[in-house]
Chain A
Amino acid sequence: MLEVTASKRLGEFVADFSFSCQAYGITAVFGKSGAGKTTLVNMLAGLVQPDEGRICVAGTPLFDAAQGLDVPVERRRLGYVFQEGRLFPHLSVRGNLHYGLRRAPPDERRIGFDQIVTLLGLEALLGRRPAQLSGGEKQRVALGRALLANPRLLLMDEPLAALDQPRKQEVLPFIERLRDELAVPIVYVSHAMEEIVRLADRLVLISEGRVEALGPVEDLTSRLDLRPLTGRYEAGAVIEGRVLGHDEAFGLTALSFAGGTLRVPRLALGRGAEVRVRIRARDVALALTPPEGTSFLNIFPGVVRDIGREPGPQVDVLLDLGGAALWARVTARSRHALSLTPGARVYALVKAVAIDRHALGRASPDR
């Protein structure tokens, strides 16, 4: 469990966070820049002292203003992966990795040196200096260094933000692997929704120094009232499904979900594997009757639940497909032409090619 009530005044900015949630898996902290994400993580780590409040991780109190408790950073045993890596320039990669490991209590060393080196693919880098590493390699080393301290919880503050797209794609699979292979709970700060959908189990949505909402990723991204915070351009719904089988001839994978069978480009997953698919609102079209002679592989009957009220030439329509929520973005004109109102029966058309592997994540363990 992660229990936080912490307030801090920083000049004009006031952070006042209050939430509690499960800690296992990945908890994403999402918010625009300036929302107070880093302040929150620094208060957890002990790098910033809250003015008031109480912070408790896995039953251990780390900070309690009322009792005058403030466990020093080095004794909190929370790992921290910073945006800029912060590798020690005077030590080799090996030296950096050993720095935390050497200081972890011997009876709490569950994660070993060789395991991390293999998991993060660091063999070839061990003898190098941080100055000789690329941005992606630096973040992998920073990740390994934090994990080798065998923390009770790993904090990651926008670990990919300083990397370009190819480097991000290089590091992301490693984060997925450590989530799946090491039982270290992670708090993952980001302002990139695609990273969160791919990695996170639950989402803490923050804005202007406050927690606005907390819950499973798919619930929060489908809520209309949170749209100003989750973002409109990347708007989409997250659907949980299970691999039914593969169509080898055409290179497709069939996923079953609450609304039917979804066909997507071939996934390297076994039958029965649970996955989470993000379908962007702009990749979903609507029809009143099931179209024929179409290239759309995925056609699902559903009911209009809600319609976005944001002004502009486009509107977002929330659909219910047999229990699964899906967003469609259509023009205001189409909405008028199809007379879309809540309760209307429609067909959702989803292009299979719109779903790529970057839109995939592991199924949420919270449910």
Chain B
Amino acid sequence: MLELTLTPLEREALALSLRVALWSMVLSLPFGVLTAWLLARREFPGKALFNGLVHLPLVVPPVVVGYLLLVLFGRRGPLGAWLYDSFGLTLAFSWRGAALAAGVMAFPLMVRAMRLSLEAVDRRLEAAARTLGAGPLEVFVTITLPLMSPGILAGAILAFARSLGEFGATITFVSNIPGETRTLPLALYSLAQTPGGETGALRLALLAVVLALAALAASEILARRLRERIEA
């Protein structure tokens, strides 16, 4: 029989996963919009390289990303040491590091959705807004952002769902610490490695599927609402 209430361990993994995914999504949002804008609207030297870097997590093994994060953000890494000395912030082996790893891995997906919607924004509307007295930044905030909002939302949800499932980069960068960095996929992995953990692993797998479906459904509903508001 399948017990429907979650065990304390499952609840802990679920809560941690949601926290990690939420933070990774929220913190990468502004960078996502900025990157999408740079890629869609700007020409600058090294743009091809920049584009490649943004998309790197899609094509290299997640372990590589996790390892690079460990090198850069580990306690003795150049960025990790700076963060610790300046803010007392440690990423390695903490849930914050898990959020960073998830954010980096999901970033290309987020940027892609945003970039597509930004490219679909009619630039003639932006020109019209300028003739009405709005400066470039004002035009971006009052015209461009609202018009690309379905893409921002889609990118955010996609990144959220991707973060929920992050495994390779996370386990490499922040390890598998119960209550700290053991998110759903890591808990599932641990159970699958343990003799007699099959039932627990199956329950977590089902939970992950339900979670992903819920995120996708939420994204569909919100995107439709937004589109209706825009096109009425």
Contacts and interface: CB of A to CB of B under 8 A. Distances in A.
B79 to A, nearest CB: 39
Contacts of A130: 232
Contacts of B231: 89, 129, 131
A161 to B, nearest CB: 15
Contact of A47 (B127, B134, B138, B147): B127
Interface in B76-133: 122, 124-125, 127-133
Interface string A139-183: 000000110010000000000000000000000000000000000
Interface in A73-102: 73-80, 82, 84, 86, 88-90, 99-100
B132 A145 contact: yes
B232 A129 contact: yes
A129 B127 CA distance: 20
Contact of B124 (A76, A78, A82): A82
Interface string B144-176: 001100000000000000000000000000000
Contacts of B142: 99
B229 interface: yes
A105 B143 CA distance: 21
B133 A77 contact: yes
B230 interface: yes
B124 A149 contact: no
Contact of B131 (A79, A88, A89, A129): A79
Interface in A20-54: 45, 47
B137 to A, nearest CB: 11
B187 to A, nearest CB: 43
B135 interface: yes
A223 interface: no
A131 B128 contact: no
A86 B128 contact: yes
A77 B130 CA distance: 10
A83 to B, nearest CB: 10
A72 interface: yes
Given A47-B127, A88-B125, A90-B147, A74 B135 contact: yes
Contact of B230 (A45, A73, A90): A90
Contacts, number: 68
A146 B129 CA distance: 10
A149 B132 contact: yes
A331 interface: no
B136 to A, nearest CB: 8
Interface residues of A, number: 29
A73 B147 contact: no
Q: At the interface, is chain B mostly helix, strand, loop or mixed?
A: helix
Contacts of A77: 133
B129 A88 contact: yes
A26 B147 CA distance: 35
Contact of B133 (A47, A88, A100): A100
A104 interface: yes
Interface string A212-249: 00000000000000000000000000000000000000
A132 interface: yes
A89 B143 CA distance: 9
A86 B124 contact: yes
Interface in A113-155: 128-132, 145-146, 149
B120 to A, nearest CB: 12
A103 interface: yes
B194 to A, nearest CB: 53
Given A129-B231, A129-B232, A132-B232, A86 B132 contact: no
A77 B132 CA distance: 7
Given A45-B131, A73-B130, A100-B133, A88 B232 contact: no
A90 B228 CA distance: 9
Contacts of B135: 72, 74
Interface in B194-232: 229-232
B230 A99 contact: no
A6 B84 CA distance: 59
B6 to A, nearest CB: 41
B118 to A, nearest CB: 15
Most buried by B among A73, A128, A131: A73
B131 A104 contact: no
A268 to B, nearest CB: 35
Contact of B229 (A76, A80, A90, A128): A90
Contact of A74 (B133, B147, B229): B133
A86 B142 CA distance: 15
B132 A103 contact: yes
Given A73-B127, A74-B134, A90-B229, 18 more contacts: A73-B130, A74-B131, A74-B132, A74-B135, A77-B133, A79-B132, A80-B128, A82-B128, A88-B129, A89-B125, A100-B133, A103-B132, A103-B134, A104-B133, A131-B231, A132-B232, A146-B132, A149-B133
29 contacts: A47-B127, A47-B130, A47-B131, A72-B135, A73-B127, A73-B131, A74-B130, A74-B132, A74-B133, A74-B138, A78-B131, A80-B128, A84-B124, A86-B125, A86-B127, A88-B128, A88-B129, A88-B143, A89-B231, A89-B232, A90-B147, A90-B230, A99-B129, A99-B132, A100-B133, A103-B133, A104-B133, A131-B231, A145-B132
Give the 9 A-B CB pairs with smallest separation, nearest first: A129-B232, A103-B133, A100-B132, A80-B131, A86-B128, A73-B130, A90-B230, A90-B146, A149-B132
